[in-house]
Structure 1
């Protein structure tokens, strides 16, 4: 995976329409409505027959071709298991070359134009999921159990492995080798990151990537990626951060608080989850380490796009001394949360 950011300036509305018309065998109107997205470029399109589509153009260089196919493969496995989502549509006349073997492989869901990989989806609407009562958490648990059954069907060799020894170590190395950290606060940042690396590494010592239990996970399972659709139930969106991980990764982003304070919600999630799939409750102790890993991952995510005009508009103070001073405090607080979870062990069931 190349973490550089390519330029989308050449992706014009005309090029978007040309790309999608070629692979859908349908005529589109000139309607190209941009949708919110920092990393990729996403457009709502309309056909002459009044059908609506979503075209997602992936940032070149962020994911390899095979990694994108693995994202699509996971979504299609979920769709085959009757899990509601907008799966990538089959595209016509496309053949690609497997990056590992060099042999021609069909790529029915991934197109490419002028260097931009893209996929097309049916537009599906709904309202964002909200936790109204414990039954809401039960439903989430059932959805997760079913999704993880699909995730366990096969591995994804070209996606990140969310573990202390892989993704966390890589993100820490990225930060250390960057010029993103303000020089006046770099020593403090380095010190807290070193403490976190030791603590998180110790907690993952029994759960390395060779450990049984790593499956394909959504990777970004929060309320913004779950829609409530009348008559269909809960629908999943945005598998862009799909990864190989322990299933616990998909449990914690929805929680209303840190793990020790979210016992009722976790209990309900696991009750629903276990209707479809077993769960190792010992891995709940990894929730707060995973939260720390997410903070560091997000710092790298921001650093890679800090020169993007959309990002600068939304985060004008990113990278300032004041910003990094607050990050140090947040990282220190998260270090303390991990130690508290270890000492209290209140989230073990």
Structure 2
């Protein structure tokens, strides 16, 4: 009988590979159920063991994160679970850790926990979210993540900007792009100096918070976990720009301050963080551009007209930030 070769890429992952990896890692027997779940970056499948329990197996995109970086993410999740925060921690595997590999692909298993997408309809929902994120940050601040991204103008922004300049910005636009990156760094740097940087979820938008009827909220997808300012885990939840949703922002931060201090000046970071996210996403796309699924999803990415529009959007965003950097921060009142 021919020996099953270890997969080298996601395209090599067959149901047989997936089941064998799960059985070897856990010591459990599994049925033939291998149901793919939506995930662009990683490959995620639902499995069922012989006792009928459902599991999620997650194969991490090769070369995206080091083993140490993935262990930082898992440690954060385990810390959260130990503090009784609503997360799904990775399962402890047969060898005692939470991470295994098949060929060059790291993977982990999780208990299946489903829920509905978060729907914010009442003032109390914003306050509840704020309290939950503050509790998350209290756990986050107790340790470090030395191998994850460090969200800072002189770290992630500088790295992403340099990568784009080297790899894909049309020559005629490079000088303008570099000038915009330098402006953004200069504007953002003093704001970051006021902040304590802690472990973060990193990508905490509404689709990464589920509602489980009868239980409450569930935080999912810590794949972009990083170190940075607390505001990064708050601004993505807002329904609009800060000046257009002062009430919602006030309620969110009022809830947050129930369990953790947050300076009013932290709100000044919202628009710089939005601009930094634009650059981060462009750099991420650049790394994926040769992936067949990426080219099908973003067929016009990288064209001259694409970059012309991106530079226009970035310039507009920086113009929005510049006057804000000299204004006092909003002082929100929740009951306006």
Q: TM-score, structure 1 length as denominator?
A: 0.88
Give the one of 119, 122, 128 matched to 1:133: 122
- Counting only pairs closer than 5 Å after superposition, residues 89-238 of structure 1 correspond to structure 2 as 89-94=91-96, 108-178=97-167, 180-183=168-171, 185-204=173-192, 206-207=193-194, 213-238=196-221
Measured in 2, the distance between the counterparts of 1:120 and 1:286 equals 36
Measured in 1, the distance between the counterparts of 2:55 and 2:221 equals 15
Measured in 2, the distance between the counterparts of 1:238 and 1:9 equals 23
Q: CA deviation at 1:191?
A: 3.6
Question: Residues 305-340 of structure 1: CA distance to partner in whole angstroms, max 9, x if unpaired?
Answer: 011111112111111122212211211121122124
Measured in 1, the distance between the counterparts of 2:140 and 2:90 equals 17
Would you say 1:241 and 2:229 are equivalent positions? no
Question: 3-state SS of the aligned residue for 2:120?
Answer: coil
**Are the counterparts in 1 of residues 135 and 259 from structure 2 also a CA contact under 8 Å?**
yes
Question: Residues 70-104 of structure 1: CA distance to partner in whole angstroms, max 9, x if unpaired?
Answer: 1011111111111112110110125xxxxxxxxxx
Question: 3-state SS of the aligned residue for 1:9?
Answer: helix
Give the one of 226, 234, 238 matched to 1:251: 234
Q: TM-score, structure 2 length as denominator?
A: 0.91
Question: 3-state SS of the aligned residue for 2:34?
Answer: strand
- Counting only pairs closer than 5 Å after superposition, residues 1-349 of structure 1 correspond to structure 2 as 7-94=9-96, 108-178=97-167, 180-183=168-171, 185-204=173-192, 206-207=193-194, 213-345=196-328, 347-349=330-332
Q: Which residue of 1 aligns with 2:5?
A: none
Measured in 2, the distance between the counterparts of 1:344 and 1:264 equals 20
Q: Which residue of 2 aligns with 1:100?
A: none
Please report the RMSD computed on the Cα atoms of aligned residues, expressed in angstroms: 1.8
**Are the counterparts in 1 of residues 268 and 329 from structure 2 also a CA contact under 8 Å?**
no
**Are the counterparts in 1 of residues 271 and 321 from structure 2 also a CA contact under 8 Å?**
yes
Question: 3-state SS of the aligned residue for 1:347?
Answer: coil
**Are the counterparts in 2 of residues 215 and 247 from structure 1 also a CA contact under 8 Å?**
yes
Question: 3-state SS of the aligned residue for 2:28?
Answer: coil
Runs of 5+ unmatched residues, structure 2: 1-7
Question: 3-state SS of the aligned residue for 2:324?
Answer: helix
Q: Greater shift after overlay, 251-260 or 225-234?
A: 251-260
Question: 3-state SS of the aligned residue for 1:199?
Answer: helix
Q: CA deviation at 1:10?
A: 2.3
Question: 3-state SS of the aligned residue for 1:177?
Answer: helix
